[in-house]
Structures are given as structure tokens and as C-alpha cells.
Amino acid sequence: MYVTPRPNVNEDPLYAVRLALTGMLAYAAVPILDPALPPIIAALPLGLIAAQRKAFNPAKIIAAPVVMIVMVYATTWFVEQLRPMPLVYVGTMWLVYFVAFRMILKTGAAMGMLIIIVALLMSIMGMHGTATLETMRDGFAQASVVALVVGLLVYILLPARTKEIHVDEPVPTTGNLEIGAAIRATVLIGLSFWLYSVMQPSDMMMAMVAAMVIVFPTGTRVWDEAFQRIRATLYGAVVALLILWLFTFSAHLSIVLGLIFLSGLFFGTKMLNGPHPSMVYQYAFSVTLALVAGALSTQDPAYATFTRIVLTLVGAFTAAFTVAGLDMLTQWRGSPTTDRSSASEMARG
């Protein structure tokens, strides 16, 4: 699985400012579009844009939102066709998860992760009914358009210093990939039913946090990623609560946008030189945006925050424990020494 390296301040000294501006503009789109699921509009563009490194890459900035829209519409049609046949529905989604996980393990390509996230969220929303599924589809499409517009704008206003285009270097996994993919697909099916039973449609963005922990190929990386996601969730929740508390003193959109910009600047600076991996701070900022957008839209900030934190913690730990335990039981990976070396190299990258 490909792990995005830490941004380099010498190559991109304005990265933190660009991250903050991205979050602020994405949140500013919420009152303009008035979407049914505000957390998606607020958080998804950040995930698509913040992973960019070095110089502006038109292929990634433009292709990622377009691919997301195509996948969401295709998955919606697919789910609508299979929904009347529950057993076929579940079996087909397991097969999609299996193929995507095998793609990740074999090639290290992040495209498999995008397939898993879209398939997971759309399949869960499909269980809620066609109307809810189409609401999620429209939310993803709106967020992708926002990501496209905001991504182009922030790189025009705040370009990187270097002219070099970043090239991803995925790291494939060794071992019996079919068993590893089957374990993760099976756990994700169970996680899908759990999310369907305990989470409301407005909480679906946080389902990604619980799902992502089972992607990484070794037990070490599974637990490491789980704790990183938990740490990111807590960091993001604390900052979100601070923003919501300050918002009570002056309930104006400009105040929220200013506080989001400052929080993005803080997390962006930590991504450049913080003690934890850069993705911790990126995810934390995404959590902050999702929580603030969700809390202000539900008119119940305390309950919304508490629910998201608890469900994310439970989902992440359960998924990580199950996958790590089954990995240890089946021993499908290559030599432990090689796996640990690969994990260390990815963490240093």
C-alpha cells in the first residue's frame, strides 16, 4: 500500500497555508450548496487535495474528482440493481472488496482504496433505501466538483516552489495475497452490517476512518494505522470542540471560516515538522471539518461529536483486532523480517 510522504518545506513552503485555505473554501461551499450531507462537502475535497505533493499535477487534481464521480454513479446503478436480491447483493459486494484489496496488496496502488471506500459507503446507503443512496451519490458528486474547483484555485493562488512533479512509489506485498484479501473483504462485510445498524447516514464520512485501518498489509501496519487513526480522531475532535465553543460567542459564518483556517494552518504546520506521521494531522483536519459541519447541521454538537468518536473508536479497534488476529492465525504473509522492513521503510517515507 502506498503511504504518502511528508511534505517538504523547502519544496513547498506554502503547503500549510494551502491546506488551511482548502479546508476553509470547502467549508464555505456548504452554505452555498446547502447539501443534504454537509460533512461530505466539507471533508472529502480536503482528502483529494491534501495528498498532493510537490508541484501542481493537473492529472491528479482533475482526474481524482472525475474518477470519483464516475465510480459513484456506476456503484449507485450497481447497488440499485442488486438490492432486491440480498444474498447476491452481499456476495457481490464481498467480491468487489476482495478484488480491491487484492489490487492494493499486489500492486500497492491506492486506486483500490478508492474503490473500497465508494463501494462501502454506497452499499451501506443502499441498505437504507434508494432515496438515501441517491442522496449519498449526489453528495459525493457535489463534493467532487468542489474538490476540482478548490484544488485548481488553491494551486493557482499558492503554487509550490519546486517544479518537479511527484511520482508515487507503491510498495507491493509478498505472500498469499488471496488469503489476505479474503480476510479483509470478510471483515469489511461484517463492518458494513455494523455500520448500517448503528450509524445514521449523516455519520457515513466517519465510516471511512473505521474502514481504512484494515487496508495495510501487515499486522504491524494494521495496529500502527489503527492507533494513528484514533490519535487523528481525538486531535480532530478536540479542535472541533474548541471551534464550536468559540462559535457560541459569535455565531457568524466568517468566525467559523476563520477558525477553520487557523486550525488548518496548525495541522498543516504539523504535517511539515510534527512528531507523528503527516497523515495523522491530515486526517485530524478532515475529522475537524466533518465534525464541525455535522454538528452545526444537527444542532446538537455534543451528541454528534460523542457519537462519531465512540463509533469510530469501536469500529477501528474491532476491525484492526480482527484483521491482525486472522493474519497471525493464517500466516499468509512472507517472512516477518521482510514485512517489518517494508513497514519501516513506508513509515520513514
The full DSSP string for 8-29 is PTTT-TTHHHHHHHHHHHHHHH
Per-residue pLDDT reduced to its tens digit, 99-120: 988 888 887 666 777 788 888 8
Per-residue pLDDT reduced to its tens digit, 175-219: 788 888 898 889 888 888 877 776 666 666 666 666 666 655 445
Cα separation, 83 vs 119, whole angstroms: 13
Contact 222, 211 (CB under 8 A): no
Max mean pLDDT among 144-158, 211-225, 323-337 falls in 144-158
Say which residue, 50 or 255, is predicted with more confidence. Answer: 255
Report the SS3 class of residue 251: coil
Say which residue, 196 or 95, is predicted with more confidence. Answer: 95
Contact 210, 120 (CB under 8 A): no
DSSP per residue, 121-174: HHHHHHHH-HHHHHHHHHHHHHHHHHHHHHHHHHHHHS--S--PBP--------
pLDDT of residue 349: 44
pLDDT of residue 11: 85
pLDDT higher than threshold 50 for residue 39: yes
Cα separation, 42 vs 292, whole angstroms: 9
Q: Give the mean pLDDT of 52-59.
A: 79
pLDDT band at 348 (very low <50, low <70, confident <90, very high): very low
Q: How far is CA 342 from the centre of its chain?
A: 23
Per-residue pLDDT reduced to its tens digit, 260-305: 999 999 999 998 888 888 888 888 898 888 888 877 776 455 555 5
Per the prediction, the chain carries an average pLDDT of: 79
pLDDT higher than threshold 90 for residue 28: yes
Contact 167, 58 (CB under 8 A): no
Q: What is the pTM of this model?
A: 0.79
Cα separation, 45 vs 286, whole angstroms: 9
